[in-house]
Amino acid sequence: MKDRIKIIVGIVLGMMVSAYVQAEFKFIITRGYDQPTTVAVVPFCWQGNQVMPENVAHVIAADLSRTGQYQPLSDENMLSQPCRHDQVYFRDWKLLQQDYLIIGDIAFEQVSQKYQITYRLYDVVRETNIYAAQVSGTRDQVRDLAHLISDGVYQKLAGIRGVFSTKIAYVTLNTENAAPNYRIEVSDADGYRPIELYRSPNAIISLAWSADGRKLAFTHFDNDGRTSIKVVDRISKAVESLPSFPGINSAAAFSPDGKNIAFVNSKTGNADIYLMNLQTKAVKQLTNHWSIDTEPSWSPDGKQLLFTSERGGRPQIYQLWLDTGRVERLTFEGIYNARGHYSSDGKYVIMVHQSTQSFHIAALDVETRQLRILTETELDESPSLAPNGTMLVYGTQDDGRGVLAWASVDGELASIMPSETGHVREPAWSPYLQ
Report pLDDT digits (tens) over 111-144: 889 999 999 999 999 999 999 999 999 999 999 9
Rounded alpha-carbon distances, angstroms, from residue 370 to 329, 348, 355, 373, 412: 14, 10, 14, 10, 17
Report pLDDT digits (tens) over 253-279: 999 999 999 999 999 889 999 999 999
- pLDDT given at position 398: 76
| CATH match of 35-158 with 3.40.50.10070 | yes
**What is the 3-state secondary structure of the chain?**
CHHHHHHHHHHHHHCCCCCCCCCCECCEEEECCCCCEEEEECCCEECCCCCCCCCHHHHHHHHHHHCCCEEECCHHHCCCCCCCHHHCCHHHHHHCCCCEEEEEEEEEECCCCEEEEEEEEEECCCCEEEEEEEEEECHHHHHHHHHHHHHHHHHHHHCCCCCCCCEEEEEEEECCCCCCEEEEEEEECCCCCCEEEEEECCCEEEEEECCCCCEEEEEEECCCCCEEEEEEECCCCCEEECCCCCCCEEEEEECCCCCEEEEEECCCCCCEEEEEECCCCCEEECCCCCCCEEEEEECCCCCEEEEEECCCCCCEEEEEECCCCCEEECCCCCCEEEEEEECCCCCEEEEEEECCCCEEEEEEECCCCCEEECCCCCCCEEEEECCCCCEEEEEEEECCEEEEEEEECCCCCEEEECECCCCEEEEEECCCCC
Q: Is the pLDDT of residue 28 over 60?
A: yes
Report pLDDT digits (tens) over 269-327: 899 999 999 999 999 999 999 999 999 999 999 999 999 999 988 999 999 999 999 99
- pLDDT given at position 271: 94
pTM for the structure as a whole: 0.89
Report pLDDT digits (tens) over 341-400: 999 889 999 999 998 878 999 999 999 999 999 887 778 889 999 999 999 999 888 777
| Residue percentage of the chain with pLDDT more than 90 | 71
Delimit the domains of the chain by residue range: 2-16+166-429, 35-158
CATH superfamily of 2-16+166-429: TolB, C-terminal domain (2.120.10.30)
**Within a 13 Å sphere around the CA of 379, how many CA atoms are in the beta-carbon half?**
17
| Residue percentage of the chain with pLDDT more than 70 | 90
Rounded-to-integer distance, Cα 85 and Cα 233, Å: 44
